[in-house]
Amino acid sequence: MSNSSSTGLGFIAHSLLGRPVAVEFIPAGGLSYTNGLCLFIDSGLDMSARRDAVIFQALLLASGSLDACYIKRLRGRPRATRNYLFLEAARLLHNPPHRLPHVFADRYSLEIIPPSCSENALLQALKSTGEPGLPQVFGRIRPGPLLKYSGELPAGKGALSESERRGQFTPQNFDDSEDDDLPEDNFSLLKLLSNPLSSGGVFAKMFEDILGLKRSGEGGENSDNSSGGTPVSGARKVLKIGSNVVEYLGQEEGHPDLKISDMTTLYSYPEWDRYKGSYKADWAKVVELDPPEIQDAVPLRADWRKVARYLHPLGLEYKITSRQPRGDDIDLQNLIDYIIQVKAGQSPDENIYRRNQKSRRDMSIALLVDLSESTGDICANGESVFSRQMTFALSLLEAFDKLAVPVLAYGFHSWGRHHVQMMKIRHLNSKGSYHARKCCERLQPAGFTRMGAAIRHSCHQLSRLSQTKRNVMLVISDGFPYDEGYEGDYAAADTMQALREVREANIAPVCVSIGTEQSDDSLLQIFGATSFIRMDNVPAALSRFQKAVQYELARVLRG
Amino acid sequence: MLANKETKPPEYFAVGTEIDVFEAASRQGLPLMLKGPTGCGKTRFVEYMAHKLNRPLISVTSHEDVTASDLVGRYLLKGGETVWEDGPLTRAAKAGAICYLDEIVEARADAIVAIHSLTDHRRELHIDRLNQTIKAHPDFMIVISYNPGYQSLLKELKQSTRQRMIGLDFDYPPREIEEKIVAAECGLDPARAAELVQLAHAIRRLDTPELSEGASTRTLISAGLLHRGGCSLRRSATAAISSALTDDVEILQGLNDLIELYISE
């Protein structure tokens, strides 16, 4: 495989599972496993083995082998877990789903499955050998991490059908008196083998009784959880501060050195002091950083189509289009061509008009997303503010990308005036939204909101890089600007001053707040009623959002 | 394009009841609307049905500059005289042909409205320039197609047009049928056709906006034909599938990794 990096392997896992899933490497020698959201692969394996490990773990997830209803029975039972893994591997290889690459099935099937494969034969093999032998690439099952994230698994596209998921294993003439010879673990495990889709039989009933499983619609504690997880609620926990910032916080107060590499550019911006009526020069220090790699990145899914309809009219300007069947004026060149064709005895092209229509888009966007810790708060619908903000930001990014509008995007947060972080999501001249999405998935809420500095930096970058006449700054924030030594009227005044600078640079600022329970008063005061939109219900508020951007653009262009 | 019994019959593998629906609609003079992703067999189905019903087929691929005149007809200069020439819609209505309007949603609004009188109980076409109204031949049928996922952001088929049609939803064929199609169209070994189809399914499972259309059956056939032309199947798949689907470097690399996984050399 030409690309054994986590990105390439993540792609393979995605295609097997039908939903995005991250891939991370663990220290060499550790057995590969998954928590449902991420596949943790042994970095000591060679390229081909890493791929096989990813295939196997992804297939376990796709086939329902790691559903919570089964895994919770294995918690605290390592031997049963290993036996279960062996039997599930045999089941998958004995009756491989169509999506399993044949090279994988051919390579491993002979190692695991006896020639006459039946449940009896497998159990006898277990009894006689004690510990099942599995290739190292198959890794292990860790019930704890799986159960921890089982409620957050997103619905996938192209999930395995029911018949594919549990395979065709059915008990065949099984003599349950042999159970007495099996250790307790194996007896319970035997019941796990029974196909819950079978029409009846003593083993299916015993399986249902022990695990408390019911068919869907029959009630029972697992009735809504047997299909491999519920659609993602989007809840994102507030996680610990990234390591680079922890280092900073460990520094003494005063003018601590930032622990950043020598290659990183540090930007310095003034800050408006309303009490003195003047700027404090070189006051806020801003640094641009790439979002750090994290272990349990939650894949984001956004519907750009709904947003794109409202963004489509933005930034359009008139352009004269010739060769039209109807129009505002006759195009002289086309008319001359028409006469020449008539004179030459040819059938002339009747499209001789030209029309002034809005077909050219001349606009660039700077998108800022507030990453402060307060965005980790949970909304009434169970999602975090942060998750809703990122989903909307991603839908904007993807929609603008489809409309070929250049977007410069950052997430921002701060820890005092010496450390304002602008996390790079997208560069203005980038194409495609795949990389931007991956960046969004790696962002976490932390820190505070020194909004003035973030706005000034974005204004500076957009002014420098944009080549369009129309420029818009979209700020997605959950509340008021707040940071160390930056709060209340002082922070509001500085942010308002930064917005004046933005308008003077002919950039139209609009602020959006989504799902937060904090008061809007501060953002309303700072941005003004015409350029602040509260979006508790994003689809319903899109038309107001469109109007706000159009209004601000017109205002800025009027001067 | 006209089809008749003398030409080789187009091959089509039925997936559901689409043939029955088409025949019933044809008997009743009802227009059909075929919806589905690109390259899933809509056009081939229409060609097959035209051949099966022994009707001429007149196809028009629509774009944003297609006007009502392009469909109905216009005056042309021939030998110094002005002569009326029927457009494809008028010719089909007079001859009792099947008029297939592909990607109809891309056409201008006046072009779409021009078919309304032919698709309701009136079954007639009024030609302004001639001040004539022609009644459609009893065998005349309109079939339109479009790709709902690809629609231009501001263009959609209006309800006044949609509700005149009988809808048929198309999707990529089930695995077994798609393998047969690829094997038959390319002359490929069934095992190799199965590899291509398995690859296509893997790509279609990718849940990312850049690949919302997935790999169509058409791209698989192109890959198979390229392989028959002398390239290795992997190289053919790279050229005909992954390069055709995206320009994004990361996604292209991911697709090539999938090709390496599912296609043996």
Describe chain B by its helix, strand, coil percentages, rounded to 5. Answer: 45, 15, 35
Angstrom distance (rounded) from CA B260 to CA A1: 7
Alpha-carbon Rg for chain B, nearest whole angstrom, is 21
Any chain A CB within 8 A of the CB of B212? no
Lowest mean pLDDT, pick from A174-188, A194-208, B128-142: A174-188
Cβ of A18 within 8 Å of Cβ of B205? The answer is yes
In Å, how far from its chain's centre is CA B143? Answer: 10
Angstrom distance (rounded) from CA A366 to CA A464: 12
User: Any idea what DSSP says for residue A111?
Assistant: H
Considering only CB atoms, B258 lies closest to which of A11, A348, A402, namely: A11
Give φ, ψ of B231 to 5 degrees: -85, 155
Is residue A164 predicted with pLDDT exceeding 60? no
The DSSP string of A524-557 is HHHH-GGGEEE-SSHHHHHHHHHHHHHHHHHHHH
Interface of A with B (CB under 8 A): 1-3, 7-8, 11-12, 14-20, 51, 98-99, 101-103, 156-158, 301, 304-305, 308-309, 312, 325, 342, 345-348, 350, 398, 402-403, 431-435, 437
Is residue A221 predicted with pLDDT exceeding 50? no
| Tokens representing residue A328 in the block | 């505002």
Mean pLDDT, chain A, rounded, equals 76
Angstrom distance (rounded) from CA B94 to CA B87: 11
- Tell me what pLDDT residue B56 has: 95
| Tokens representing residue A120 in the block | 């009896």
Instruction: Tell how strand A507-513 and strand A470-476 pair up.
Output: parallel
Burial B44-53 (b: 16+ CB within 10 A, else e): bbbbbbbbbb
- Tell me what pLDDT residue B80 has: 73
- Tell me what pLDDT residue B151 has: 52
- Tell me what pLDDT residue A117 has: 55
- Tell me what pLDDT residue A320 has: 84
- Tell me what pLDDT residue A131 has: 58
Is residue A198 predicted with pLDDT exceeding 50? no
Angstrom distance (rounded) from CA B197 to CA B220: 7
Cβ of B261 within 8 Å of Cβ of A101? The answer is yes
Tell me the per-residue pLDDT of A268-321, one tens digit each, with 9 for 90 and over: 999 999 999 999 988 999 999 888 877 667 778 788 888 888 888 888 877 888
List the single residue in A with minimal CA-CA distance to B66. A325
Considering only CB atoms, B209 lies closest to which of A1, A312, A433, namely: A433
SS3 B12: coil
Residue B72: its chain A contacts at CB < 8 A?
A: none
Convert A22-65 into a string of H (helix), E (strand) and C (coil): EEEEECCCCCCEECCCEEEEECCCCHHHHHHHHHHHHHHHHCCC
| Tokens representing residue A103 in the block | 């090279």
Is residue A54 predicted with pLDDT exceeding 50? yes
pLDDT band at A210 (very low <50, low <70, confident <90, very high): very low
List the single residue in B with minimal CA-CA distance to A302. B209
- Tell me what pLDDT residue A202 has: 42
Identify whether the C-beta of residue A365 lies closer than 8 Å to the C-beta of residue A311: no
Predicted complex ipTM: 0.81
Angstrom distance (rounded) from CA A50 to CA A25: 9
The residues that bridge with A267 in the sheet, in sequence order, are: A286
Is residue A225 predicted with pLDDT exceeding 60? no
Angle at A534 between CA A521 and CA A413, to 5 degrees: 75
Q: Which comes out higher in pLDDT, residue B166 or B82?
A: B166
Angle at A410 between CA A406 and CA A414, to 5 degrees: 160
Q: Which comes out higher in pLDDT, residue A403 or A237?
A: A403
pLDDT band at A252 (very low <50, low <70, confident <90, very high): very low
pLDDT band at A153 (very low <50, low <70, confident <90, very high): low
- Average pLDDT, stretch A362-376? 92
pLDDT over 90, % of chain A: 29
What are the residues whose beta carbons fall under 8 Å from the beta carbon of B54, sequence distance 6 or more? Answer: B4, B5
Burial of A293 (0-12, 13-18, 19+ CB in 10 A): exposed
- Tell me what pLDDT residue B226 has: 96
Beta-carbon pairs below 8 A across chains A and B? 106
- Tell me what pLDDT residue B43 has: 95
Q: How many residues does chain A have?
A: 559
Min Cα separation B29/chain A (Å) = 33
The DSSP string of chain B is ----TTSPPPP----SSHHHHHHHHHHHT--EEEE--TTSSHHHHHHHHHHHTT--EEEEE--TT--HHHHHEEEEEETTEEEEEE-HHHHHHHHT-EEEEETGGGS-HHHHHHTHHHHSTT-EEEEGGGTEEEEPPTT-EEEEEE-TTT--TT----HHHHTTSEEEE--PPPHHHHHHHHHHHHT--HHHHHHHHHHHHHHHT---GGGTT---HHHHHHHHHHHHTTS-HHHHHIIIIIHHH---HHHHHHHHHHHHHHS--
Cβ of A3 within 8 Å of Cβ of B257? The answer is yes
Angstrom distance (rounded) from CA A556 to CA A517: 31
Angstrom distance (rounded) from CA A133 to CA A122: 12
Tell me the per-residue pLDDT of A316-366, one tens digit each, with 9 for 90 and over: 877 888 888 888 889 898 899 889 888 888 788 888 998 887 777 889 999
Cβ of B257 within 8 Å of Cβ of A98? The answer is no
| Tokens representing residue A461 in the block | 């970058």
Residue A312: its chain B contacts at CB < 8 A?
A: 153-154
Which residue, among A403, A434, A437, would best test binding to B if mutated, counting the most B CBs under 10 Å from its CB? A434
pLDDT band at A254 (very low <50, low <70, confident <90, very high): very low
pLDDT band at B3 (very low <50, low <70, confident <90, very high): very low
Angstrom distance (rounded) from CA A556 to CA A530: 13
> Torsion-angle region of residue A295: left (phi > 0), alpha (psi -120 to 50) or beta?
alpha
- Average pLDDT, stretch A12-35? 88
List the single residue in B with minimal CA-CA distance to A308. B153
**Cα dist from B48 to B31, B52, B89, B153, B201, whole Å:** 17, 6, 20, 32, 26
Tell me the per-residue pLDDT of A470-512, one tens digit each, with 9 for 90 and over: 999 999 998 889 999 999 899 999 999 999 999 999 999 999 9
- Average pLDDT, stretch A148-161? 62
- Closest by Cα among A127, A120, A135 to A89: A135
What are the residues whose beta carbons fall under 8 Å from the beta carbon of A487, sequence distance 6 or more? Answer: A481
Identify whether the C-beta of residue A174 lies closer than 8 Å to the C-beta of residue A202: no
User: Any idea what DSSP says for residue B242?
Assistant: I
Q: Which comes out higher in pLDDT, residue A362 or A458?
A: A458
- Tell me what pLDDT residue B211 has: 81
User: Judged by CB atoms within 8 Å, which residues 71-90 of B form the interface with A?
Assistant: 74, 76-80
Tell me the per-residue pLDDT of B104-141, one tens digit each, with 9 for 90 and over: 888 888 888 899 999 999 999 999 888 999 999 999 99
Burial of B126 (0-12, 13-18, 19+ CB in 10 A): middle
Cβ of B247 within 8 Å of Cβ of A431? The answer is yes
Angstrom distance (rounded) from CA A197 to CA A394: 40
List the single residue in B with minimal CA-CA distance to A324. B65
pLDDT band at A174 (very low <50, low <70, confident <90, very high): very low
Tell me the per-residue pLDDT of A406-454, one tens digit each, with 9 for 90 and over: 999 999 999 999 999 999 999 998 878 888 988 998 898 999 999 999 9
pLDDT band at A69 (very low <50, low <70, confident <90, very high): confident
Q: Which comes out higher in pLDDT, residue A361 or A261?
A: A361
Is residue A456 predicted with pLDDT exceeding 90? yes
Tell me the per-residue pLDDT of B184-220, one tens digit each, with 9 for 90 and over: 999 999 999 999 999 999 999 987 777 877 899 999 9
pLDDT band at A123 (very low <50, low <70, confident <90, very high): low
Q: If you search the block for the tokens 């189509």, which residue do you land on?
A: A305
User: Judged by CB atoms within 8 Å, which residues 18-37 of B form the interface with A?
Assistant: none
List the single residue in A with minimal CA-CA distance to B153. A309
Angstrom distance (rounded) from CA A121 to CA A113: 9
Instruction: Tell how strand A278-289 and strand B141-146 pair up.
Output: unpaired
Cβ of A157 within 8 Å of Cβ of B205? The answer is yes
Considering only CB atoms, A7 lies closest to which of B201, B248, B250, namely: B250
Considering only CB atoms, A345 lies closest to which of B80, B202, B203, namely: B80
Considering only CB atoms, B77 lies closest to which of A7, A347, A435, namely: A347
Is residue B239 predicted with pLDDT exceeding 90? yes
Is residue A180 predicted with pLDDT exceeding 70? no
Give φ, ψ of A95 to 5 degrees: -130, 70
The identity of residue A339, as a single letter, is: I
Angle at A430 between CA A427 and CA A435, to 5 degrees: 85
- Tell me what pLDDT residue A170 has: 34
User: Any idea what DSSP says for residue A131?
Assistant: S
CB atoms within 10 A of CB A401: 22
Identify whether the C-beta of residue A109 lies closer than 8 Å to the C-beta of residue A138: no
- Average pLDDT, stretch B53-65? 91
In a 13 Å sphere around the CA of A389, the CA atoms on its Cβ side amount to 36
Which residue, among A7, A11, A542, would best test binding to B if mutated, counting the most B CBs under 10 Å from its CB? A11
Residue B74: its chain A contacts at CB < 8 A?
A: 350
- Closest by Cα among A423, A163, A135, A161 to A288: A423
- Tell me what pLDDT residue A110 has: 56
Is residue B170 predicted with pLDDT exceeding 90? yes
Lowest mean pLDDT, pick from A436-445, B76-85, B249-258: B76-85
Cβ of B154 within 8 Å of Cβ of A312? The answer is yes
